[in-house]
Amino acid sequence: MLPTKLTMPRKSVFLKFVIIALLFSSHSFWAPNLAEAVNQASIDRVKKIVMMLNIAAKEFEEGVVNGKIVVAPEYEESLVFLQQAIERFARLSAEIPDSQKVEKLKNQLINIMGLVKDKADSQKVWAEVNSINSELLATFNIEINKTPITPISLVNGKKIFESNCLICHGLTGNGDGPMASQFDPSPAVLSNAKLTGDANTTAYDNFEVINVGIANTAMMAWAGVLSETQIWDVTYYIRTFSNVNIQLPPVNLELAAIESSADNAGKLAAMVVDEVRGLLDKSLEIYKSGQGDNAAEVAFDAYLAYEKIESNLITKDRSLGVSLESVFSRYRGEIKRNAPFDHVQSLNNEINLKLSKGLELLKSEVGFTGMFFQSFSIIVREGFEAILIIAALIAFFYQQDMVEFVGQKD
Ligand code: HEC
């Protein structure tokens, strides 16, 4: 794979560093399940190890191609991150009661260091990193967000598939693309429900494979070639090959604000409000025609649609959020008890008014949660680069001792 060059502005490295420090001490991105009373410090340490291993693998992949160093700083950074992860794991290991597991993980880490030093296939490094990461996350009961952060576009997914994947996997995913016969093993039959069906797999399973590829096969890693959004789009597109009624994940406005701008989050909010209004109108119309039960059902649909923006609204203006929730429930209640039409209509108006107010708020600024997610976006996009710069500096200062520094096996 071609090494992708980072061309972010190099200003405010210090600020980025502070943001990274904040990220590392925050709990919001990860959703730890504390059922096993794992202490927060360990969870934070696990998160760091997971991130560092991911970064190490990513840097290695960009720094070494076909057994040769193509971008020396990236290769060296991968060693630094790996060494960091190994040191942190040594401190963490006391908290893993199963000593066999500790030994296994430790050997895997040493093995990764060996692969990196031997400039082995980056897919092998990824495979080891992924295996350790999932083991670590499972051991500490930590979950990572495994759903897309932007609304899925199947139209986009189709385009991406046809320009990147069709050549091997074929137009309808039957594994019969024009180049398919060239490869051993041959391209996967993506229309096989075993590989992409809702009953057997999750979208995230496919997403991961597409990201990291499959070692020693023609299936390359698409992370870095396609953006995460594009990979999610193509992931859901290939799932249409075996699922007749593909279920797309719900819109998450907060997370959408990461990838898009606050502006786009506002547009999404407007779409949701339009949907809610449409359903409210419909419910009132149906009520007018005397079908109370149907009207109540549609009113409930309106409330469900509203829920997509409810938490965002509550973050902005708690009392407005709470009062909307209550007027929605009164609206349904009045429909159910066959209240006079005027009464039901006035509640409908009240909801519409409050929705307008809410929409203005959601369009205006991002609010605290949005700010958090936006800072998070900065961290994801630029913060890693700051780590890399710092690591590069460290690598520079320690250049003389580098070989011994990374050579430690414990
Ligand atoms: C150069 C050929 C080639 C291209 C291009 C290619 N693939 Fe693949 N793909 C393969 C091969 C070969 C395998 C099967 C490897 C194996 O059998 O382990 C595979 C496997 C897969 C799998 C794993 C299925 C499973 O669960 O076993 C998925 C998902 C997939 N490809 C999706 C894609 C997507 C999406 C694209 C485009 C972004 C793509 N592939 C592009 C050759 C290709």
188 Cα to the center of ligand 1, angstroms: 6
Asked if residue 214 lies in contact with residue 126, where contact means CB atoms within 8 angstroms, the answer is no
136 Cα to the center of ligand 1, angstroms: 27
Closest residue by CA, ligand 1 atom 30: 210
Nearest-atom index, ligand 1, CA of 234: 35
- pTM of the predicted model, to two decimals? 0.45
Find out if CATH 2.70.70.10 is the number for domain 154-239. Answer: no
Return all residues near 104 (Cβ < 8 A) that are at least 6 apart.
Answer: none
pLDDT for position 8: 44
42 Cα to the center of ligand 1, angstroms: 36
pLDDT for position 28: 40
Could you give the residue range(s) of every CATH 1.10.760.10 domain in the chain? 154-239
Q: What are the backbone angles phi and psi of residue 3, rounded to the nearest 5°? A: -70, 130
> How far lies 328's CA from each of 53, 277, 325, 346, in Å?
48, 12, 5, 12
Burial of 100 (0-12, 13-18, 19+ CB in 10 A): exposed
165 Cα to the center of ligand 1, angstroms: 8
**Tokens in use for 374?**
């936006």
The fold of 261-364 is Four Helix Bundle (Hemerythrin (Met), subunit A) (1.20.120)
Closest residue by CA, ligand 1 atom 11: 187
Closest residue by CA, ligand 1 atom 6: 165
pLDDT for position 101: 92
- Any atom of ligand 1 within 6 Å of the Cβ of 178: no
Cα–Cα distance, 158 to 374 (Å, whole number): 29
The residue with tokens 């949005």 is: 370
Amino acid at 31: A
368 Cα to the center of ligand 1, angstroms: 41
Closest residue by CA, ligand 1 atom 40: 165
The answer to whether the peptide bond before residue 32 is cis (omega within 30 degrees of 0) is no
Mean pLDDT of each 10-residue bin along the chain, 410 residues long: 46 59 47 48 77 83 91 84 86 89 94 96 93 91 74 89 97 96 94 91 83 73 82 95 85 57 72 90 94 88 82 85 90 93 95 93 63 58 72 74 51
Cα–Cα distance, 65 to 4 (Å, whole number): 12
pLDDT for position 36: 40
218 Cα to the center of ligand 1, angstroms: 7
Could you give the residue range(s) of every CATH 1.20.120 domain in the chain? 261-364
pLDDT for position 13: 65
Q: What are the backbone angles phi and psi of residue 226, rounded to the nearest 5°? A: -105, 150
Closest by CA to 376, choosing from 45, 32, 26, 5, is: 26
Which residues face 65 on adjacent strands? 68
3-state secondary structure of 325: helix
Cα dihedral 96, 99, 100, 105, rounded to 10, equals 50
Cα–Cα distance, 87 to 187 (Å, whole number): 40
- Any atom of ligand 1 within 6 Å of the Cβ of 394: no
3-state secondary structure of 27: coil
Nearest-atom index, ligand 1, CA of 180: 2
Return all residues near 25 (Cβ < 8 A) that are at least 6 apart.
Answer: 44
- Any atom of ligand 1 within 6 Å of the Cβ of 189: no
- Chain centroid to Cα 100, Å, comes to 32
208 Cα to the center of ligand 1, angstroms: 12
- Any atom of ligand 1 within 6 Å of the Cβ of 167: yes
The residue with tokens 């990220």 is: 23
182 Cα to the center of ligand 1, angstroms: 13
- Any atom of ligand 1 within 6 Å of the Cβ of 210: yes
Closest residue by CA, ligand 1 atom 1: 218
Q: Give the mutation target among 172, 214, 239 for probing the ligand 1 site: most ligand atoms within 8 A of CB.
A: 214
